Amino acid sequence: MKLLVTGGAGFIGSAVVRQAVAKGHEVVNLDALTYAANVENVASVSTSNLYSFEQADIRDRVRLDEIFALHRPDAVMHLAAESHVDRSIDGPGDFILTNINGTFNMLEAARGYWTRAGKPAGFRFHHISTDEVFGSLGDTGQFTEETPYDPRSPYSASKAASDHLVRAWAETYGLPVVLTNCSNNYGPFHFPEKLVPVVILNALHGRPIPVYGAGLNVRDWLYVEDHADALLTVVAKGELGRSYNIGGENEARNIDLVRLICRLMDEMHPAGAPHDRLITFVTDRPGHDARYAIDPARIRAELGWRPSVTLEEGMRRTVRWYLDNEAWWRPLLDRQGVGQRLGTKA
38 Cβ contact list (under 8 Å, min separation 6): 9, 14, 189, 191, 328, 332
Residue type, 200: I
Number of Cβ within a 10 Å radius of residue 26: 18
Question: Residues 54-77: pLDDT tens digits?
Answer: 999 999 999 999 999 999 999 999
- The average pLDDT across 268-282 equals 96
- Give 340's pLDDT tier (boundaries 50, 70, 90): low
Quick one: pLDDT at residue 89?
A: 87
The pTM of the full predicted model, rounded to 2 decimals, is: 0.95
Q: How far apart are CA 74 and CA 236, in angstroms?
A: 10
d(CA 323, CA 335): 20
Angle formed by the axes of helices 224-237 and 11-22, nearest 10°: 60
pLDDT(342) > 80: no
pLDDT tens for 140-198 read 999 999 999 999 999 999 999 999 999 999 999 999 999 999 999 999 999 998 999 99
> Is-catalytic flag, 132?
yes
Please report the pLDDT score of residue 336 as a whole number: 67
Q: Tell me how far apart the alpha carbons of residues 58 and 215 are, in angstroms, rounded to a whole number.
A: 36
Contact 22, 48 (CB under 8 A): no
Strand 2-6 vs strand 75-78: parallel, antiparallel, or unpaired? parallel
For 224-293, give the DSSP string. HHHHHHHHHHHHHHPPTT-EEEE--S-EEEHHHHHHHHHHHHHHH-GGG--GGGGEEEEPPPTT--SB--
Q: Confidence band (pLDDT; 50, 70, 90) for 337?
A: low
Catalytic annotation, pick one of 131, 163, 229, 251: 131
Q: Residue 139 gets which letter from DSSP?
A: S
Average the pLDDT over 4-15 and give the result. Answer: 98
Helix%, strand%, coil% for the chain, nearest 5: 45, 15, 35
**Which pLDDT belongs to residue 341?**
53
| Tens-place pLDDT, residues 209-256 | 999 999 999 999 999 999 999 999 999 999 999 999 999 999 999 999
Query: Exactly one of 51, 155, 223, 292 is catalytic; which is it?
Result: 155
The count of other CB atoms within 10 Å of the CB of residue 280 is 11
Q: Which helix (H) or strand (E) holds 61?
A: helix 61-71
Given 54, 86, 132, 289, the catalytic residue: 132
For residue 112, which of 153, 152, 62 has the smallest C-alpha distance?
Answer: 62
Rounded Cα distance, 8 and 18, in Å: 9
What is the reported pLDDT for 228? Answer: 98
